[in-house]
């Protein structure tokens, strides 16, 4: 067992808010490849989802406000932004990486920009190590869209572990709507083999963020312990 866990209750270890420090942003696939190639043993979490699902808001709710830039305009994240962060009450100075990826789907950008985004994303997932967790964010009101399915078709060819977070669960006002989303879970687990856990959350209302936080921390600690 990693020494940092020796005397600390697991439930007390959390992502340290405000600890995420911006390292750099990548908008060129070649530079991204060079950076990843030099960090084969890095441990981290990558957040990705369709444009306008509240990705930046969820990142800020977990890591601290102003970590990721929020905007009402879909496609605001135009590069892969990399941060370092630490854990609260963790007896170690170990740093982890946070990756904020561009949204996929309906963002209104130029054809040249879209091509570059696709190359960036392909470089990231093609050369990603097996110590980085993917957190896919979907809008609870519009789950499993065509672009989400395309994303998983691509991911299934890669050896990655995914947690699926349905954001904006507070927008589902009727129990019937929440029940329908819950009934979708078995189908998605069967269809998307890389998905290991699912969460219903609200970045705005902070609903169920504690459970997601705990699972993310558990992943990081488990990965450290596997070295």
Is 215 a domain residue? yes
Locus of tokens 């879909």: 74
Q: 180 lies in which domain range?
A: 25-225
Contact 216, 201 (CB under 8 A): no
Is 6 a domain residue? no
Is 118 a domain residue? yes
Is 17 a domain residue? no
Is 18 a domain residue? no
Is 50 a domain residue? yes
Tokens linked to 205: 């209302």
Residues with Cβ within 8 Å of residue 29, at least 6 apart in sequence: 116, 119, 120, 122, 123
By CB atoms closer than 10 A (0-12, 13-18, 19+), residue 102 is: buried
Interval 200-213: pLDDT, tens: 999 999 999 999 99
Is 15 a domain residue? no
Sequential pLDDT tens for the chain (227 residues): 444 444 556 778 999 999 999 999 999 999 999 999 999 999 999 999 998 899 999 999 999 988 887 644 444 557 899 999 999 988 778 899 999 998 887 556 667 777 887 899 999 999 999 999 999 999 999 999 999 999 998 887 677 899 999 999 999 989 999 999 999 999 999 999 899 999 999 999 999 999 999 999 999 999 998 76
Is 2 a domain residue? no
- Could you count the other beta carbons within 10 Å of the beta carbon of residue 173? 8
Residue 192's CATH number: 3.40.50.300
| Total of domains in the chain | 1
Interval 157-196: pLDDT, tens: 677 899 999 999 999 989 999 999 999 999 999 999 899 9
């Amino acid at each position: 067992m990693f020494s940092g866990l020796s005397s600390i209750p697991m439930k007390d270890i959390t992502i340290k808010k405000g600890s995420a420090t911006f390292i750099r942003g990548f908008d060129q696939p070649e530079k991204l490849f060079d950076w990843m190639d030099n960090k084969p043993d890095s441990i981290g979490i990558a957040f990705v989802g369709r444009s306008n699902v509240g990705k930046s808001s969820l990142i800020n709710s977990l890591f601290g406000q102003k970590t990721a830039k929020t905007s009402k305009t879909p496609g605001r994240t135009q590069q892969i932004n990399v941060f370092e962060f630490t854990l609260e009450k963790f007896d170690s100075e170990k740093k982890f990486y946070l990756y904020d990826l561009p949204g996929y789907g309906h963002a209104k950008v130029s054809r040249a920009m879209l091509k570059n985004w696709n190359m960036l994303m392909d470089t990231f997932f093609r050369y990603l190590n097996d110590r980085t967790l993917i957190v896919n964010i979907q809008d609870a009101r519009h789950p499993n869209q065509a672009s989400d399915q395309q994303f998983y078709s691509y991911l299934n060819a890669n050896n990655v572990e995914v947690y699926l977070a349905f954001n904006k669960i507070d927008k589902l006002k009727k129990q019937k709507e929440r029940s329908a989303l819950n009934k979708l879970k078995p189908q998605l687990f069967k269809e998307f083999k890389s998905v290991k856990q699912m969460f219903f959350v609200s970045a705005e209302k902070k609903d169920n963020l504690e459970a997601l936080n705990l699972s993310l921390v558990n992943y990081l600690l488990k990965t450290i312990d596997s070295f």
